[in-house]
Amino acid sequence: MKNTPEIMFESAFAEDTFKGLSSFPKYLLSKYIYDKKGDKLFQKIMDMPEYYLTSCEFDILQQNAENIITSFYDARGIDLIELGAGDGKKTKILLRQLVETKADFKYLPIDISQNVLDELKDSLATEIPEVNVEVQQGTYFKTLERLAEYNTRKKVILVLGSNIGNLNHEEAVDFLRNIAHAMREEDMLFMGFDQKKHPQKILDAYNDPAGITEEFNKNLLVRINEELGGNFNTENFMHWETYNPETGTAKSFLVSNKKQQVEIKNLDLNLEFAAWETIHTEISQKYDDAVVEWLADESGLSVDKSFGDKENCYKNYIFRRK
């Protein structure tokens, strides 16, 4: 493999791709799956019957919207800040309830995908025009630097879809600690956590028979081809999912099904893949109450209350700063 340390990277995507594919074992960051095509594929995933996370959280929000908004409410108004907003389908349940209660609020959805944000803003203008919305494009960690600036009234930070599951425990503590530092005593964090459950149910959610999740993961290779001059043949890789019930960690891999060479021209990178060599693409962490409370304690937060579906497949927790 040809390494060129002096290379000037044209983007964070280029730099992270170079680092990941120059490592052993190889990896790619899952956040880069979400371009225009990746966004549409993820929306398909959320509609799959096997992908229980969306329907469970949707039901939790529908059944508990009034209680949740009562917890959020502040007579002086609130800033509702959502990290990783996506298409906002579930958030609209809470937005409608806020409008119905005549709450004074501003909605600030943040996402890495400008395409998704544009679609969300347009849909809100049609479906819930009363919402005062201000979209912001950026990554979680860039956004965290700006959170503390919202300090004139209560802020409620939303992280739905168990997006925290894309981080290992050390990263999750760091993420939550940064949020806690940006919070004041009256602020709240409302976050979804997928719960530990029958291992097969988890595997099925990330290994659907229609192959949508495989195409979703392979979109990383497609992006590298299109944006960085790669020549990956996606047919030479298979998607493989694992789940460790002890740690609660589901992992996604792309596995080279043959010995092959891949060139990425813009990175001046030539890669050798052995047969059955892997690229780690995604982590999806699962939790229980004890782990969530440990994460909170390590991060300077405390669990205020939680809302679960009837089978406790999924839970949304409200956290406050200690």
Give the total number of structural domains in the chain: 2
**pLDDT computed for residue 5 by the predictor:** 53
Q: Residues 123, 211: one domain? A: no
Distance from C-alpha of 268 to C-alpha of 260, rounded to nearest angstrom: 17
| Residue 123: domain span | 52-195+288-321
CB 296 within 8 A of CB 287: no
Domain match, 112 and 18 both: no
Per-residue pLDDT of the chain (322 residues; tens, 9 = 90+): 445 456 689 999 999 999 999 999 999 999 999 888 998 999 899 999 999 999 999 999 999 999 999 999 999 999 999 998 888 999 999 999 999 999 999 999 998 888 889 999 999 999 999 999 999 888 766 777 777 788 889 999 999 999 999 999 999 999 999 999 999 999 999 999 999 999 999 999 999 999 999 999 999 999 999 999 999 999 999 999 999 999 999 999 999 999 999 999 999 999 999 999 999 999 999 999 999 999 999 999 999 999 999 999 999 999 999 9
Which pLDDT score, from 0 to 100, does residue 1 have?
A: 47
Q: What is the pTM of this model?
A: 0.89
Residues 191 and 112 in one domain: yes
Q: Dihedral through CA 249, CA 139, CA 171, CA 61, nearest 10?
A: -60
- Asked if 165 and 296 sit in the same domain, the reply is yes
Q: What is the CATH number of the domain that holds 167?
A: 3.40.50.150
Residue 246 lies in a domain: yes
Q: Is residue 21 part of a domain?
A: yes
Give the pLDDT confidence score for residue 206 in this predicted structure: 95
The pLDDT score that the predictor gives to residue 6 is 61
Same-domain status, 212 and 268: yes
How far apart CA 73 and CA 8 sit, in angstroms, is: 49
